[in-house]
Amino acid sequence: MGYEELFPENDKSGWHANAAKRFASPFVDNFHDRIDVDPIILSNAAVQCGFTIRDFYEKPELGIHCVGYISELFDLLPVTHWFFSLPWVRELGVTLEYKDTLPPVSTGPIMQVADIENLEIISKEDLLKGSTVPLFYNMYDYVAKNLGHTLVPISYGFDICGAGSELIGVEEFIMATFTEQDLAHKLVDTYVGTAINGAELMADKYGFAMLIVGSVLANNDIFADEQIEEFSAKKMGFYVDQCFRRGAGPQIFYHMCGNQETSYKVFKRNLVWSPFTVTHIGYMGQKEFPSDILKQEFQDVSTCMGSVDTKLMINANPKKVYEHAKDSLLKGRDAKKGFILGTSCETPPYTIPGNLLALTRAARDFGTYGTW
Amino acid sequence: MAVSEEVKKTIESRGLKVADIEKLVAEAKASKNMITNGSKFIAKKQMGDMVVYADFNEDGSINSAYGHKMKILDIVMDTSDTEWTYVKTGAKIRKGHTNLSYLGATRSAPSLVDPASGESWLEEYLAAKTIAVAEMLFSQKRA
């Protein structure tokens, strides 16, 4: 039995048709219905459908079908996504281990800092023989066949610094950014070059590929702004520029997670902004990144995605989620190029359904663009 | 003007006419309204609903031509120098972003810009790939 037999079809002419118009609205200045809600739902979709976190990651086709199915319940995005934070590292030699309660994690560093000298970007030919490209090809072929109305092929550069650092270990990488800067750059550049080749393979097959790339390890709890600019923002800009040259894009989702208290200022001048760009920043200090500052900094070049703290999503207090969502919406809803209500990062696997409803309820109550 | 068969095919496959591109090149050379990186030139012209570009050499031979339907508006920002120079003024061309409008929506895209004159140019990889897909998505999303 295929996974598609486990799910009823989405309500395509009702829910999906309306959600698709709403999803398009911030990009084409054709406002429809209300501001969209994207809690970056991943393994929570599987949990809500009765599966496990491990199922979500071990069975990508099942996982993405859960996302497509459950999005209808909370009137979320009409498109599907499935990802984990370490694409491309297996091709560079890292072993990933599946866990019951986590996304796949590295079993540990595979080299010393000095070994970075010998690292090489993985070619397109070798990526085709690896695990990441076949995983995404199989999954998007499944989506095209069974959930075609939700298909957006996506290539993940994801956390440029964090993923690359897995090769030598995060602590070693942080040290290397001070003591062995050339090697630290080479490590990140090797990861970026491999991810660019991966994006090209996605574009080769599907004609285009949305790009998701982020700065997570590179945040102000660990690095100064100058390091975040050099090791993350500039690399992210290079990644997108090169992906565009190879036919990927034009959609981009920039996800800056962790504490971006002052570093948020280094991204605008270093990133590439396409007509379909969404910018999302998780935190300022320990608090949600304020939507008014996000709007002020990025509304000239991007659709802005506000944040409700993910910790609230597992707190038995939907009213608090609603109030935080309201605050985010009121501060960001009149962003020049549109606004989306999000959570600071992936909504936790055991997110309380009442809290997801609180996000949607707030978007219905306060999610106009302020100019209707 | 020299136009190889291969280039002719590319130009025609993009819905452009070789004669129009030859005229664009001739006008650009006469007016110096073009940018150069020292080895080749790019010139642009609004033709109907399209902004059309010619990529050509000093002797007038054409390397490529491309276009986009998105209308060029104002420069959003400029961030760093490039190898390009605006022949008309001698100004150094900067890497930047420019607002483009299409079907009533205004969005920015990477571009080559001259902040002094307010002029922007899109390179071929952007116009033929990124912006072409963006225009298709705009049409779908506006439907």
Last residue of a domain, one of B47, B68, B89: B68
CB contact under 8 A, B141 and A337: no
pLDDT at position A3 is 97
In this prediction, residue A29 has a pLDDT band, given cuts at 50, 70 and 90, of confident
Q: Which residue of A has its CA nearest to B131?
A: A250
* A49: its two tokens: 């459908």
- A30 to chain B, any CB pair closer than 8 A? The answer is yes
Same domain, B138 and B104: yes
Distance from CA of A99 to the nearest CA of B (A): 38
pLDDT at position B143 is 63
Q: What is the DSSP string of A252-284?
A: EEEEEEEE-TTGGGGTTTTS---TEEEEEEEEE
- A247 to chain B, any CB pair closer than 8 A? The answer is yes
The verdict on residue A114 lying in a domain is yes
Beta pairing partners, B66: B53
Question: How many other CB atoms are found less than 10 A from the CB of residue B78?
Answer: 20
Please tell me the total count of domains within chain A. 1
Q: Which residue of A has its CA nearest to B123?
A: A245
pLDDT tens per residue across span A55-110? 999 999 999 999 999 999 999 999 999 999 899 999 999 999 999 999 999 999 99
pLDDT at position A99 is 94
Chain A partners of B105 at a C-beta cutoff of 8 Å? 27-30, 275
Last residue of a domain, one of B52, B68, B84: B68
Same domain, B61 and B75: no
CA dihedral B4, B37, A273, A276 (to 10 degrees): -10
The verdict on residue A266 lying in a domain is no
Same domain, B45 and B96: no
pLDDT at position A279 is 98
- Using a 10 angstrom Cβ sphere, with 0-12 exposed, 13-18 middle and 19 or more buried, the burial of residue A189 is middle
Same domain, B62 and B48: yes
The verdict on residue A210 lying in a domain is yes
* Cα-to-chain-centroid distance, residue B67: 6
pLDDT tens per residue across span A176-212? 999 999 999 999 999 999 999 999 999 999 999 999 9
Beta pairing partners, A159: A214
Residue A10 has pLDDT above 50, yes or no: yes
Same domain, B61 and B120: no
Distance from CA of A76 to the nearest CA of B (A): 17
pLDDT tens per residue across span A83-92? 998 999 999 9
Whether residue A167 contacts residue A112, with contact meaning beta carbons closer than 8 Å, is answered with no
Domain of residue A183 covers 107-224+234-256
Same domain, B63 and B80: no
Same domain, B62 and B78: no
Global pTM value: 0.96
The verdict on residue A58 lying in a domain is no
For chain A, what is the mean pLDDT?
96
Cis status of the peptide bond prior to A250, with omega within 30 of 0: yes
Q: Which residue of A has its CA nearest to B109?
A: A274
pLDDT at position A161 is 94
Question: What CATH number is associated with residue A216?
Answer: 3.20.20.210
Backbone angles phi, psi at A329, to 5 degrees: -65, -45
pLDDT at position A369 is 74
d(CA A119, CA A116): 5
- A17 to chain B, any CB pair closer than 8 A? The answer is no
Instruction: Give the ipTM of the model, two decimals please.
Output: 0.94
In this prediction, residue A372 has a pLDDT band, given cuts at 50, 70 and 90, of very low
Q: Which residue ranges in chain B fall short of pLDDT 50?
A: none
Same domain, B34 and B88: no
The verdict on residue A134 lying in a domain is yes
Please tell me the total count of domains within chain B. 2
Same domain, B83 and B136: yes
Mean pLDDT of A210-232: 97
Same domain, B106 and B129: yes
Domain of residue B87 covers 71-142
Last residue of a domain, one of B68, B87, B106: B68
* B67: its two tokens: 């276009």
Whether residue A220 contacts residue A228, with contact meaning beta carbons closer than 8 Å, is answered with yes
